[in-house]
Chain A
Amino acid sequence: MRTKRRTRFTLAVISFLGIACAFGLGGTLFAAEAPASSECIKCHTDLKKMDRYGAASAGGGAAIAG
């Protein structure tokens, strides 16, 4: 009876640790694999292109807060 209870307890602990590890590892993997931004970078680090666009779109601002 006692052996059975101990076995059940051991199994429960192992299952808990297993789930925790799986989720922990999954979380780490998920964090490490941020959505790729290669296409954004390709375009936005082309400074000549961006500057041409910026020069055309940036306007003057007004300082009004005092």
Chain B
Amino acid sequence: MRGRDTYGVDKDYVDSVHGKVGCINCHKGKNVSDKDKAHEGLVKDPSEEDGGGVCRQCHGDITSTYKNAMHYNLTGIKDIVGTLISPHKMKDTLLPAAWKLDCANCHASCGSCHVAWPKVAEGGLLNRHHFEKNPPMEKTCYACHGSRFAGEYMGLLGPSPDVHYEKYQMVCTDCHKGSELHHTMPEGVKRYYATETPRCEQCHADVVSGRSEVAMHNAHKKNELSCTVCHATEYFNCTNCHVSLDVKEAGNIKVIFPSDPLSTFKIGRNIDRSPGNPYAYNLVRHTPMKKDSLASLRYFQAVLTGKPGPEDLISNYDALPTWNSASIHTIQRRTKQNSSCNACHGHRGLFLTKDDLEPGDPEANLKVIVNEIPPRIKK
């Protein structure tokens, strides 16, 4: 139960392999009865530093790759923000400070999956300090990814849970193994280029186009459609979230309310084809970003440093689309769009088109839209 087990340590834990190491060896502090003195110099998360902290002493094989893994250093977000503000430099803005205050809460130390709730969920022990080799999905993965992937997967968002969860009770780590999660992401490499990304064909080898007993699978060329295009149901989407407070100058605070949650289904062109994501068409999801999303930073920078930040902070907004390939976790064997050829062919509403774009959207969105809707099949 959340909140009940925040700092309580199981007596059995004390005699476990990790427990025998002793509290102070990892958390520092002092072995005295006075609470304040005991907590002097306490390190709340001793696994935090440099991708492993104290865990490095025994688990060097994992921490040596984890320090450069996506869940630890969030390179994907850094690269995107860096591209959007180019030619400005992060160091000349408040972004590094904002990163520490907010974005960095999403990064995961060893402890935030294996011992405690992630920082973004405000911590607390998972199971009386016992180390969980397989992190419990509903407390760890869901705590960070609940607003889309995990929420959809468990049926807490959208019309139905994913069949892998609903029918087979599969947990995240059944597909996303430790080797993937602890894997080093080479610098500048996007999420879908990760070499350890799980593929549906790893379990469903007999469904690949040309080798399948399903006529619809063979009717589409290999790598033409991602599996989700036919097998995902509607999914959660966002438009104006993260744009809740806009402060451009002192006394002029504009509050922008998040848009209503949208349940959508949009097929778009995949502009990031890679060995791990080779499909020409993917499902796409809107990234909650507007050109003036970070405008308030200019004001805060002026207040804090006496010098306002760049006026056009997101000066390279057109470079990246706000409709992006998404890994939808609402898989079903039978869906509306795969019920027949013409349940998809000729249905303009299923595809991301120019009509879905809004004024002020980045130009890069034009690369993602589908210009020609596949026509109805007569025979």
Residues of A participating in the B interface, judged by any CB pair closer than 8 Å:
34-47, 50-51, 53-55, 57-66
Residues of B within 8 A of A55 (CB): 3-4, 6
Are B22 and A35 in contact (CB-based, < 8 A)?
yes
* B263 CB, nearest partner CB in chain A, Å: 16
- 21 A-B residue pairs with Cβ-Cβ distance under 8 Å, sorted by A, are A35-B24, A35-B25, A37-B23, A38-B31, A39-B31, A40-B29, A43-B35, A44-B8, A44-B9, A45-B14, A46-B8, A50-B5, A51-B4, A54-B4, A57-B3, A58-B124, A61-B118, A63-B142, A64-B147, A65-B120, A65-B144
With both beta carbons as reference points, the residue of chain A lying nearest to B39 in the complex is identified as A40
Q: Which of A38, A61, A65, A66 has the most CB of B within 10 A?
A: A65
Are B122 and A61 in contact (CB-based, < 8 A)?
yes
Are B33 and A39 in contact (CB-based, < 8 A)?
yes
Q: Which stretch in B148-156, B201-209, B312-320, B364-372 binds the other chain?
A: B148-156
Residues of A within 8 A of B143 (CB): 61, 63
Number of interface residues of B (CB under 8 A): 42
* B27 CB, nearest partner CB in chain A, Å: 8
Residues of A within 8 A of B7 (CB): 44, 50, 53-54
Asked if B46 CB lies within 8 Å of chain A CBs, one says: no
Residues of B within 8 A of A50 (CB): 5-9
Residues of B within 8 A of A58 (CB): 2-3, 6, 122-124
Are A45 and B31 in contact (CB-based, < 8 A)?
no
Q: Which of B14, B23, B27 has the most CB of A within 10 A?
A: B23
Q: Convert B167-202 into 0s and 1s, putting 1 for each residue whose CB lies closer than 8 angstroms to a CB of A.
A: 000000000000000000000000000000000000
Residues of B participating in the A interface, judged by any CB pair closer than 8 Å:
2-11, 14, 21-25, 27, 29, 31-33, 35, 38, 106, 117-118, 120-124, 128, 142-151
With both beta carbons as reference points, the residue of chain B lying nearest to A33 in the complex is identified as B22
Residues of A within 8 A of B124 (CB): 54, 58
* A26 CB, nearest partner CB in chain B, Å: 18
In Å, the complex CA distance between A66 and B151 comes to 9
With both beta carbons as reference points, the residue of chain A lying nearest to B107 in the complex is identified as A65
Residues of B within 8 A of A37 (CB): 22-25, 31
In Å, the complex CA distance between A3 and B152 comes to 83
Are A44 and B23 in contact (CB-based, < 8 A)?
yes
5 extra interface residue pairs, beta carbon distance < 8 Å, beyond A45-B14, A57-B3, A59-B122: A34-B22, A44-B9, A54-B4, A63-B146, A64-B120
With both beta carbons as reference points, the residue of chain B lying nearest to A64 in the complex is identified as B147
* B106 CB, nearest partner CB in chain A, Å: 5
In Å, the complex CA distance between A57 and B23 comes to 21
Are A41 and B23 in contact (CB-based, < 8 A)?
yes
In Å, the complex CA distance between A53 and B3 comes to 9
With both beta carbons as reference points, the residue of chain A lying nearest to B285 in the complex is identified as A66
Residues of B within 8 A of A65 (CB): 106, 120, 144-145, 147
Q: Pick the contact of B8 from A38, A42, A54 — CB < 8 Å?
A: A54
